[in-house]
Amino acid sequence: MPEGHSVHRIARQFERHFEHTPVAVSSPQGRFAAGASQLDGHEIVRSEAVGKQMFLEFDHGLWLRVHLGIYGAWDFAGDITVDATTASANGRMGQTNQRGTDLAAHEDSLASMGAPRLTRLRMSEQEKLEPDAESFPPEPIGAVRVRLLTRTAVADLRGPTACEVQTPEQVDATIAKLGPDPLVGDPAAGEERFVAAVRKKPTPIALLLMDQAVVSGIGNVYRAELLFRARQNPFTPGKELREEVVRALWRDWVKLLNIGVATGQMLTMDDLSDDDYRKALASRADRHWVYHRAGEPCRICGAPILMQELGGRKLYWCPVDQA
């Protein structure tokens, strides 16, 4: 269930630890045996994320496309590192509140806290790094659809919605169906595509933000939080939104995505006091404006947050601030 930010982080792991070295590809679970044999022994030459999809290019021109879906996950083990960041992408660099450095220290400690050479990193909606005393490579845990193994690192994929070998043409076709991802291609062009797509549709903006053909990478959490941050009613048809409002939604998505990629967490309350910000980092609870807060008081006006199923997903909003 990772939203877009996690997939970019996962692609970065492959970039750092799996490119330009032969990869043994197997399917311990068996369901990807045929695909694995097409890729086995080749080198990965490129790792890309577009929205919630990830693409690994192999040196003979074939690609592996993976979509984690609601509970897919990658487990990395071996000589790998967690992505320690400077939090520079979260817009706080240079400010006086020290949050960026707090965050960097937090992640550094995770990566270096007596970390042995062999570590295990689970990347799904949350990230967990733990020492791994086992021998290398470790036994697959659970139903491993694909195992990618190099001399020093291993990545196990479990429970994906999509996992298939694609030709370059098929990759192009898949990406062509996706809306813009702020971290792929020209962000300004992405903004124009997003604005045009939203403003011609009668569909409620809450549905458009979740539509991967309109914009890539937004999931149920970011959708709810973006709409609250913009103080927009989720049911307003896209075509009725003022252009400035749609542009502001895109720019806020760019901001939240960058924070997510830098921190590995969906931090959506960036206007908190320093104290509350540390609490939000420390505990997973209470870190959102409206997501998963049905019945609880709005953090701004106190009105009970509403929840309604829309398009098969739960939508949360404040009936007063987003009237």
Partner DNA sequence: TGCCCATGGTAAT
Partner DNA sequence: TTACCCTGGGCAG
For β-strands 44-50 and 53-58, DSSP reports them as antiparallel
187 is catalytic: no
Considering beta carbons, is residue 162 or 320 the nearer one to DNA? 162
Position 267, amino acid: L
3 is catalytic: yes
Measured from the CB of residue 202, what is the shortest distance to DNA in angstroms?
Answer: 18
Q: Which of 9, 48, 52, 234 is catalytic?
A: 52
Single out the segment in contact with DNA by CB under 7 A; choices: 94-102, 132-140, 141-149, 297-305.
141-149
**Considering only residues 41-100, where is the footprint of DNA by CB under 7 A?**
51-52, 67, 69-73
Measured in residues, the chain has a length of 323
First to last CA, the chain: 29
Partners of 237 in the β-ladder = 204
Measured from the CB of residue 273, what is the shortest distance to DNA in angstroms?
Answer: 23
* 57: nearest Cα among 171, 140, 206: 171
Considering beta carbons, is residue 14 or 291 the nearer one to DNA? 291
* 316: nearest Cα among 283, 281, 289, 287: 289
The DSSP code for 90 is: G
State the virtual CA torsion across 284, 286, 290, 293 in degrees, nearest 10: 100
* 162: nearest Cα among 15, 243, 55, 81: 55
Q: Which helix (H) or strand (E) holds 261?
A: helix 243-263
Single out the segment in contact with DNA by CB under 7 A; choices: 84-92, 118-126, 243-251, 296-304.
118-126
182 to 221: interface string for DNA, x by CB under 7 A:
----------------------------x-x------xxx
Positions in the binding site for DNA (CB under 7 A): 1-3, 29, 31, 51-52, 67, 69-73, 122, 124-126, 128, 141-143, 145, 158-159, 161-162, 210, 212, 219-221, 266, 284, 312-314
- Supply the residues annotated as catalytic: 2-3, 52, 313
